[in-house]
Chain A
Amino acid sequence: SQKIEQNSEALNIQEGKTATLTCNYTNYSPAYLQWYRQDPGRGPVFLLLIRENEKEKRKERLKVTFDTTLKQSLFHITASQPADSATYLCALGSSGGYQKVTFGTGTKLQVIP
């Protein structure tokens, strides 16, 4: 069965450092992968989308890589700030008319001042 793994343990990082979050998947060939941010008691907020034929995507301090051979995506936040503290979800999407998206459980990031 399809499985998406994100580090269930919280990631604590010092302010100013680069945070790196991992998303691994098995039994899945996604057409695209997305990263979302979710704050407690709130709905997820879309951050970045990367397609299967793309290796890397950047947006301001965010960078996403997508390795379909390793079946892995890395999500980087450079110059991290306390305001970046949240849970980050990866989501894999299939192609075609239905385009179902499956979410990982998320990794909680805590940026320490």
Chain B
Amino acid sequence: LAKTTQPISMDSYEGQEVNITCSHNNIATNDYITWYQQFPSQGPRFIIQGYKTKVTNEVASLFIPADRKSSTLSLPRVSLSDTAVYYCLVGAYDYKLSFGAGTTVTVRA
């Protein structure tokens, strides 16, 4: 499994865009990039997954450059309820999700 590096924490304010960059220099050809969100006392929740370029859904956008050695999760116009831990996962289709420590995003009023 490719090792990932992401910031430990980020602070933002309501209405701002939050961008979390994840580094994965050893990503393999078959690997996908997946992001999960976890609120306190809840299980993680799948947010978005991509292989290359850009993926967008109703929650977030995922930007992946051509070399795929990093990716950026973009959360548009965050609110207080977006305060959570965000995990970047990299790997091929597999049943074992490998989570790191994640990025704690704190949104302030």
Chains A and B bind each other? no
